[in-house]
Amino acid sequence: MSGSEPAAWLPAARGRATPAIGPALQELTDWVFFSPESGRIWFDKQRALLIHASTFGMLRREILQALGTDRGRALIERVGYAHGKRDAELVRARWPVEQRPPRWSAGPRLHMLEGFVNVTPLRYELGPRGLEAEYLWADSVEADEHVAAFGQSREPVCWMLCAYAAGYAETTHGLCVEVEEVECRAAGHDHCRVIARPASRTGPARAPRRATEQGLMTRPAARDVTAIVGASAPLMAARRMLEQVAATDASVLLRGESGVGKELFATNLHRLSRRREKPFLAVNCAAIPEELVEAELFGVERGAFTGATASRAGRFERANGGTLFLDEIGLMSMTAQAKLLRVLQEQEIERVGGSRGIRIDVRVVAATNVDLWDEVQARRFRRDLFFRLNVFPIDLPPLRARRDDIPLLIERFLALYAELHGKPIRGLSKAALDALLDYDYPGNVRELQNLIERGVICAEQDGRIDKAHIFRHGELLARPGFFLATNGRLRASGAEAPSTPAPLPSLPELERQACAAAFEASHGNVSNAARQLGITRATLEYRLRKWGLRKPRRAPTAQVE
């Protein structure tokens, strides 16, 4: 069943010029990870999609019809360019020590793996004048879909594919490369033929593509520890609410599990507000002993109680003009709640043991990881204070609800801790990355941060962080995922379970299940089922009879395929 397909897939096996070194197909497929339980496919650290070629064709057609050929083509090229650039970044991150030709040869392989086109390299030279290369493209999905949508074209139409090649080549070589399609199947040629050369003879699409490409690739600055990292939809929604309320003086209540980054949000709220030049103070209400909360928040007058030998300003006074962040507000005592309420109502505090009111102008941002309304119902939290604080609630998503941000956060923390501990790290091993992508993070971003710091500390200098460096206390739970095998079919991931290994069916059992499923799906048509499984009709017939899934026939071999 497995046959010799893998070798035939390798462009280098047929190419005359490109050496068959560098990341081979199997190394590249190892980075495709199917995680159906979380509704995701990962391509290295990027979420990927499996969509029908016809859906891609429809999208392309609608773009061209809506925007017209010129603008539509420019958009398609920008998307293709960004795609090639991302793939090149992936290869560069995974195979950093590789020389240029092997890395370059991974581009066509990725393009094939992703299902866009079948590439045969014809020529590849990287000389003093720059890059010169020539490729033959068979079965371009873009050519096929263009013909399906618009009929045969007079000009080459594999715009997205060419832009991909340009994005990949430019990112890999750091040179300006022009990719021109000189023959195209959509224009009636047998193949598409593509030439890459130094971009001195620049095409017209170059300038706008570069300008907009900047916009596509913006990322938060890696060094800014106070930036909120992530681009997932739930995070963007929370961030948008934060931006909306920042300019006002409204009380904000941040709700979310422990470790989701409530203080980070509060800091950002402060930075976006007109109070940004004034102090930002954070208080964890759970960390202060109950009898000291009032003194801590509102200050003490000398002699107020034994040990109060000097007057002292509380956090409210010290945060004057700025923002006070009250974390774990649900754990504040009823007495402190009453005082806090009065401060919020009157904009005035009174120190413990003091008799005069002190005017203050402080914006309060509160945070809770318990449901405050439940606390109100249970009479542990004042109802009036709840309504004071809950003017503008923002829910911060747990990390498992924003899994798409995990790779960005990993990158951020790696850079942060490598610098902090003065220890260059080459990244993560594949097993470590898979485990991190699949983990549930009960402790949220803070837990991920701790795991990465642990990894940086445990890994070798200039080495990669391995799974064993990160998960050392049984945090990891086995969840089923799937990789692409060389025969193109999915194989279950070898996710080790720390205590109870998930029972995997044996290979013969898997085979039996596959045959039975195909047989059933083809409503008992053995020829169809065999075609689906990629085996001969006679083989399937034999197996079905062996397993008793099909009654013996008198002359099975007499039937014509």
Distance CA 64, CA 74 (A): 10
Cβ neighbours, 10 Å, residue 83: 20
Question: Helix and strand tally (H, E) in the chain?
Answer: 22, 20
- Number of residues that this document lists for the chain: 561
Give the max Cα distance, the chain: 107
Residue closer to Zn ion, measured from CB, 193 or 255: 193
Residue closer to Zn ion, measured from CB, 155 or 462: 155
User: Site for Zn ion (CB under 5 A): which residue of 105, 140, 171, 172?
Assistant: 140
Measured CA to CA in angstroms, residue 124 lies from 105, 252, 255, 294 at distances of 10, 60, 57, 74
User: Site for Zn ion (CB under 5 A): which residue of 10, 117, 143, 288?
Assistant: 143
Provide the minimum distance between the beta carbon of 180 and Zn ion in the complex, in angstroms, as a whole number. 11
Provide the minimum distance between the beta carbon of 207 and Zn ion in the complex, in angstroms, as a whole number. 24
Provide the minimum distance between the beta carbon of 183 and Zn ion in the complex, in angstroms, as a whole number. 8
- Continuous segment of H or E residues that includes residue 246: helix 233-246
| CB-CB contact of 232 with 404 (8 Å) | yes
Provide the minimum distance between the beta carbon of 54 and Zn ion in the complex, in angstroms, as a whole number. 18
Residue 324 β-bridge partners: 281, 364
Residue closer to Zn ion, measured from CB, 158 or 252: 158
Helix (H, G, I), strand (E, B) or coil at 47: strand
For position 232 contacting Zn ion by CB under 5 A, the verdict is no
Helix (H, G, I), strand (E, B) or coil at 72: helix
For position 285 contacting Zn ion by CB under 5 A, the verdict is no
Residue closer to Zn ion, measured from CB, 142 or 296: 142
Residue closer to Zn ion, measured from CB, 181 or 438: 181
Residue closer to Zn ion, measured from CB, 158 or 410: 158
What is the total count of residues that contact Zn ion (CB under 5 A)?
5
Residue closer to Zn ion, measured from CB, 186 or 465: 186
Residue closer to Zn ion, measured from CB, 158 or 228: 158
Residue closer to Zn ion, measured from CB, 155 or 277: 155
Kindly indicate which of the ranges 64-72, 132-140, 463-471, 523-531 contains the residues binding Zn ion, using the contact rule CB under 5 A: 132-140
Kindly indicate which of the ranges 182-190, 215-223, 355-363, 415-423 contains the residues binding Zn ion, using the contact rule CB under 5 A: 182-190
Instruction: Tell me the CB-side half-sphere exposure of residue 268, using CA atoms within 13 A.
Output: 20
For position 229 contacting Zn ion by CB under 5 A, the verdict is no
Dihedral of the alpha carbons of 277, 236, 395, 415, in degrees to the nearest 10 = -70
Site for Zn ion in 187-216 (CB under 5 A): 192
Kindly indicate which of the ranges 134-142, 164-172, 291-299, 388-396 contains the residues binding Zn ion, using the contact rule CB under 5 A: 134-142
Provide the minimum distance between the beta carbon of 144 and Zn ion in the complex, in angstroms, as a whole number. 9
Provide the minimum distance between the beta carbon of 140 and Zn ion in the complex, in angstroms, as a whole number. 5
User: Site for Zn ion (CB under 5 A): which residue of 158, 288, 331, 451?
Assistant: 158
Kindly indicate which of the ranges 31-39, 177-185, 327-335, 370-378 contains the residues binding Zn ion, using the contact rule CB under 5 A: 177-185
* Closest to 257 in 3D by CA, of 328, 324, 326: 328
For position 147 contacting Zn ion by CB under 5 A, the verdict is no
Measured CA to CA in angstroms, residue 16 lies from 20, 117, 429, 490, 517 at distances of 10, 18, 33, 31, 43
Residue closer to Zn ion, measured from CB, 143 or 238: 143
Kindly indicate which of the ranges 152-160, 318-326, 340-348, 524-532 contains the residues binding Zn ion, using the contact rule CB under 5 A: 152-160
Provide the minimum distance between the beta carbon of 59 and Zn ion in the complex, in angstroms, as a whole number. 18
419: which 2 tokens? 């610098």
Cβ neighbours, 10 Å, residue 286: 13
Kindly indicate which of the ranges 80-88, 154-162, 258-266, 496-504 contains the residues binding Zn ion, using the contact rule CB under 5 A: 154-162
* Closest to 242 in 3D by CA, of 257, 226, 262: 262
| CB-CB contact of 362 with 319 (8 Å) | yes
Helices (H), 347-498: 372-377, 383-389, 406-420, 430-438, 444-458, 467-470
Distance CA 317, CA 25 (A): 64
By CB under 5 A, name the binding residues for Zn ion: 140, 143, 158, 184, 192
